Chain A
């Protein structure tokens, strides 16, 4: 019953950091065993093998939560590299996959753009989990034109809903 949260954003002052804070708050309120892998903070280097600590956390994990911005319709390259390494080692016990993400464009623009990041997790990463868990997602569309109110509402939604999405 442990949750691995994987975060990828280079700037501490970004909205993504606030989202991550709310994810952690929502999870800690439930008292779950939660470990955070913050790829930028940990200086993750895609050219080296997967860090042992990451592999251990994954081995025990029943849920994986990805917290990231969406760039060019999918996960940042650093997260794609990590996911590639992580799913090669295997995600044996993962029973729920959750993405918490922000998208610059509107829902329509992203629909036209093809949402490839969503499909990467929903199909390719999921296929590497034994249980074939459903992919759940909390997404803020239209970040570029969002108001303070939209952004605050999304933070609240993330904190309220995240505990219900993990196992």
Chain B
């Protein structure tokens, strides 16, 4: 499989570690891995006026970085998001990447009468890996909107056989080194068998 890894390694050192472990485990499992590191790439998260005006035209990808990401999405069989949950949802950078990359013609198509139709049936595996400052109970009570966005809304743009899974590291604020290395081992185990 060809897997696209979208990472927002903002804030602390643990998310980059998770991303590195994910990439190496995927490669060990025999997959080809493309990485979009939103911070290293300085991916512009803000949808501009030019982006928005082009959105419903035949050429919606005016930003070269978004166009490059869209090409990677089209070539991929798997999609993995790695980010720290912020304000109960994906980080602004991940949201911006989704808004600017998953445009009509990439993630979905807009028919004249039918409304939006799925456009990413090439994606067979969809994975989210996230850290949370809060405990699992707190996340359940407050709602995991990032997971909702990826496992539900992005998933609905995939094919009927797109499988989605989730790896969560709760309570990162109080995590010890042992907790963190246990989570890294879990990520490695799961990703090498993807």
Contacts and interface: CB of A to CB of B under 8 A. Distances in A.
A116 B145 contact: yes
Interface in B22-49: 45-49
A84 interface: yes
Contacts of B95: 72, 74, 76-77, 80
A77 B52 CA distance: 13
A120 to B, nearest CB: 5
Given A74-B89, A77-B93, A113 B49 contact: no
Given A72-B98, A78-B45, A78-B47, A123 B149 contact: no
Main secondary structure of the interface of A (DSSP, over half): helix
Contact of A10 (B52, B96, B98, B102): B52
A105 B115 CA distance: 9
Contacts of B45: 46, 77-78, 81
Interface string B144-156: 0110110011001
Nearest to A12: B49
Interface in A110-157: 113-114, 116-117, 119-120, 123-125, 127, 144
Interface in B45-102: 45-49, 51-53, 86-89, 92-93, 95-96, 98-99, 102
B48 A84 contact: no
Interface residues on A, range: 20 to 34
Nearest to A116: B145
Given A72-B153, A113-B153, A124 B99 contact: no
Nearest to A87: B87
Interface of B: 45-49, 51-53, 86-89, 92-93, 95-96, 98-99, 102, 115, 142-143, 145-146, 148-149, 152-153, 156
Given A72-B153, A78-B96, 9 more contacts: A10-B51, A71-B99, A72-B102, A84-B86, A113-B153, A114-B145, A119-B145, A120-B145, A123-B143
